[in-house]
Structure 1
Amino acid sequence: MRDSITKLVSISFLGGLIGRGLRYGFNVVIARGLGFEALGVFAFGMVVMKGGGVFARLGLDSAAQKFIPIFRTDGDPAKVSGTVLICLVAPLLAGTAVASALYLGYDVIEALVGTTFHPTTPLFILGIPLIAVMMVGVNATYGLKQTKYSVYIRDFGQSIAALVLMAIAAFIFTDLDLLILGYLASIVFGILLAVFLLLREGALRFDISPDFEYKKIFAFSLPLTLAASIQYLVSWTDILVLGVFVPSDAVGVYQAAYQTSVLLVIVLQSANSIFPSIAADLHEAGQTEQLNRVYSAVTRWVTYLTVLGLAFVLVYTGELLSIFGPTVPQAQTALVILAIGQTVNAVVGPTGFLLVMTGYERLQLVNNVVAAVLNLILNLVLIQSYGIIGAAVATATSLSVLNTLRLVEVWYLLELQPYSWKYYKGGIAIAVTFPVLLLSQLLPIPGLLRVFVGGFATLVVFTIITWQLGFDDVDKVLVEKIS
């Protein structure tokens, strides 16, 4: 079967857009139904759960994307099935161990940190093995070079189930404990979907004896465990430190700004869903020129759409945050700072995955350590003086440093870089589109409706201008067939 990169990324983009919208809705539901304090508690608990889950994944999310396509290309279903089993069972066992250790040491951790966690925190600890298995299961479907399955599992199945259950808990029962349990139940549903789809596609089979490539898989994945955990801290140190030094309602306000800024990396996340498997295949085959073309084309379009999204956030900052209810002026400032940091994160393209899939996974650990240490220091210093604005500055700075490191390393080690003068077409399209975005603010319609109308009009104008400017050979790589 042959699929174009465009088709794969388009499915992932549209599904990811819907999924991100649903997950964004979680935060709106909590803020509207239970208040910003509950949102702050939920945000802190999610950081604990996902942080433990990242460690429990043992780097197998990346290993699945690397080895499943290689074993399938080699025509070895026993190794494919063995790899899938490793990817499902190992995170469950590791996650259970991590959750048990955190639960047993709960009082000691509170004493060391010098604070008392919210009573709901143990529920999030319970979810550590669940989130680990689901996320590795999703990444195992990426190894099939099909993005639709991840859309079915996480963006539709788990996210819809979570939103419905959380809305019932928030608006009908007004119970935060029940809301958290509803979210955990949705993760179990996501795991069942992942297992079902892997079985249906023959990646997981019980009619043959699985071949477990333990040494090869764990030699690749285990070094990534620490790197992934540290990278996670780069993204979420702000919430952890805020949870210690500021009230929960302030954490909730910051969470609203942060989750809004994360919408800017939807395009990058969509590209990341398929790029690692393609990069692994092309690198393994020695097709460096084709790899560079794919890397360049993906990065170019991620840059175009993310910069356009940044312009939209800058123009409609207040209106976007009003979705959560009344907020403070500092939230708008934090959103602007975070949006700039996320844009830097996006415009370097899938550079981190490129390093991992070309044999430089240990370098990722070094990068993440540097960024994590910087992020922790900045958050500890700035949050105590400037609150949520300090957290935003610390996070944006750390993201910028991390991605600059990756970009320089790819250029130096692989002699690849995605930029050229041909970016002028996107620059022209954005420059012409921006006045349309500004004028949309003058529409005599309610605020949120104006946001949607302005955003839609801006995207339409950008698409028309881009189409009229035409596509060059590098752009056309997005429609080439990849076997």
Structure 2
Amino acid sequence: MLSVITKRLKSKFKKDKDFKEIAKGGGTSFIVNAIGMGFGYFFVILVSKIYGSNSASIYGRYVLVTLLLRIGSIVTRFGCDTSMLRFVAAFAPRKLGGNIKQISKKFSRLLLLFGIITSTIVVIGSSFWGKILKMPQNIVILSAFFILPMAFGLFYSQSLRGLKKIGISSFLRTSALPTLNFILLPLFLLFVPKQSILYNDLPTYAFFTAILITSLIGFIFWKKFQSAVSNNDNFDASHSKSYKQLINNSYPLLLVESMSFLSTWIDQLMLGVMGSNEDVGILNLCVKYGMLSSLSLQAINTISAPKFSEYFFNKDYKNLAKNFRSTTKIIFWTTFPIVTCFIIFPSFFLNIMGKSFSSGSLALVLLSVAALINVMTGSVGILLQMTGHQKIVQNVLLISVVIEVFLNAILIPSYGVTGAAIASISGTSIRNFSLSYYVKKYFGFNSIYFPGLRNLS
């Protein structure tokens, strides 16, 4: 049986160049993401060992700081990073190095402007944000100074992704921060005694330092690869973009990313406001396990996005559909065994991280089912975004987020972490099946894969 599967894969690699590229890039991304995710779990274990019975609460505060920075980073990037990905993916195969250089400079200036504005707003409203997120005002103010570096780190990641530099792009986007957190926290412990007022916030300070290092790494690699691409300096005036055009192109993508972020994090955000830091820490760990089961989807998305843009730019709809179906099958079968383990043994996996996380068993089961729904529909959101249908994605995400907010408001006061998980699986179902409907409508093929279901064309 195994030999038959191996032969089929080898045949597929030889015959289908695009599938080979997606599989190779996806494999690279999978490995890098898995390493980063592994360090993320080790970081939770490290926090649990250091802080003992208070670990869930301290980890919860750390999660809320990362939430604040992620929100600030999204506003600062304003969709510019996703626009950059689309433009670079379209220009690089045509060797339009001059165009890439032009939009890189303009987007960098926009990020700088938006970052200064966003950080200023956070500092001015630090007292308000501190009360809402239940964190000290000084931590909120300090966080404001790391919004811009975080935004640039993610911008460089997407830029490199457009050049199909999948390894370093994946590292910057998903692996750098958790890996550096795990390395830096023990180093900080060498210099900060338990009696220090800084002791309980050391995970946060490690995160701040990791952001600076990640941004610097991204800058170095982007300059290196951009110089190689821009050597020819070919410039097509018909593809020149003004600041107004770049903003108009990026704004819908900002809305999409904002809705996507909220659909992923709204449960934790509302739990932080309506519950406790401990609840946030427990739910975040369950979400991390859910992300592990979606690792292959994240990996395939990394290389699929520029490929979808390339197919669409060249009007190659046949190969677009073919490769979408192929990758969805791979995603499903690499995810199903992991999800099954989480559903059958939730308490075992939570107790690995410490007994203070054990109350999230039912939430982990629900989020694992949500992860399965997410992978069986494939990269529907990425496909629609990369083919000019970002407004559809924006509207679907908006509706699903509104429903999640409503359900969280009703369920969290009575059911806590489990209530947030119920809201999450509801939003995931609405979001993914709705986007699958639009893929069928615009591209004529069914994106959903599940054994026993016919793949309608």
Q: State the TM-score bracket (shorter-chain normalisation).
A: 0.7 to 0.9
CA distance in 1, matches of 2:56, 2:128: 28
1:40-439 matches, within 5 Å, as 40-109=60-129, 113=132, 116-119=134-137, 120-154=139-173, 157-169=176-188, 173=192, 175-202=199-226, 213-327=242-356, 330-419=359-448, 423=451
Alpha carbons of structure 1 residues 150 and 85: separation in structure 2 relative to 1, 3 Å? same
CA distance in 1, matches of 2:191, 2:326: 48
Q: How far off its partner does 1:414 sit?
A: 2.0
Alpha carbons of structure 1 residues 283 and 198: separation in structure 2 relative to 1, 3 Å? same
Identical-pair percentage: 21
Alpha carbons of structure 1 residues 414 and 156: separation in structure 2 relative to 1, 3 Å? closer
Q: How far off its partner does 1:383 sit?
A: 0.3
Contact 1:261 1:335 (C-alpha < 8 Å) held by counterparts? yes
**Aligned letter for 1:254?**
L
Partner residue in 2 for 1:455: none
Q: How far off its partner does 1:297 sit?
A: 0.7
- What whole-Å deviation, never above 9, does each CA across 1:269-316 have from its counterpart, x for those lacking one? 001101110001101111101000111011111111122211121233
Q: How far off its partner does 1:238 sit?
A: 1.3
**What SS does structure 1 have at the residue aligned with 2:355?**
coil
- What whole-Å deviation, never above 9, does each CA across 1:55-90 have from its counterpart, x for those lacking one? 221112221221102111222111111222334443
Contact 2:161 2:302 (C-alpha < 8 Å) held by counterparts? yes
Q: How far off its partner does 1:134 sit?
A: 0.8
Match for 1:21 among 14, 38, 43?
Answer: 38
**What SS does structure 2 have at the residue aligned with 1:327?**
helix
CA distance in 2, matches of 1:372, 1:43: 20
Equivalent pairs, count: 424
Q: How far off its partner does 1:348 sit?
A: 1.0
Partner residue in 2 for 1:33: 50
**Aligned letter for 2:163?**
L
Alpha carbons of structure 1 residues 262 and 418: separation in structure 2 relative to 1, 3 Å? same
CA distance in 2, matches of 1:197, 1:361: 29
Alpha carbons of structure 1 residues 220 and 18: separation in structure 2 relative to 1, 3 Å? same
Q: How far off its partner does 1:108 sit?
A: 4.1
Partner residue in 2 for 1:436: none
CA distance in 1, matches of 2:142, 2:127: 15
**What SS does structure 1 have at the residue aligned with 2:95?**
coil
Q: How far off its partner does 1:227 sit?
A: 2.0
**Aligned letter for 2:121?**
A
Deviates more, 1:158-167 or 1:93-102: 158-167
Q: How far off its partner does 1:328 sit?
A: 5.7
**What SS does structure 1 have at the residue aligned with 2:74?**
helix
TM-score by structure 1 length?
A: 0.81
CA distance in 2, matches of 1:162, 1:156: 10
- What whole-Å deviation, never above 9, does each CA across 1:200-225 have from its counterpart, x for those lacking one? 22358699699655344333211111
CA distance in 2, matches of 1:284, 1:13: 26
Contact 1:317 1:335 (C-alpha < 8 Å) held by counterparts? yes
CA distance in 2, matches of 1:171, 1:320: 30
Contact 1:123 1:180 (C-alpha < 8 Å) held by counterparts? no
Q: Mind listing any 5+ residue stretches in structure 1 that lack a counterpart?
A: 428-473, 475-483
- What whole-Å deviation, never above 9, does each CA across 1:218-262 have from its counterpart, x for those lacking one? 332111112211221111111111112222222222222222222
Q: What root-mean-square deviation, in Å, do the aligned CA atoms of Structure 1 and Structure 2 show?
A: 2.7
CA distance in 1, matches of 2:400, 2:189: 37
**Aligned letter for 2:146?**
G
Alpha carbons of structure 1 residues 170 and 241: separation in structure 2 relative to 1, 3 Å? farther
**What SS does structure 2 have at the residue aligned with 1:13?**
helix
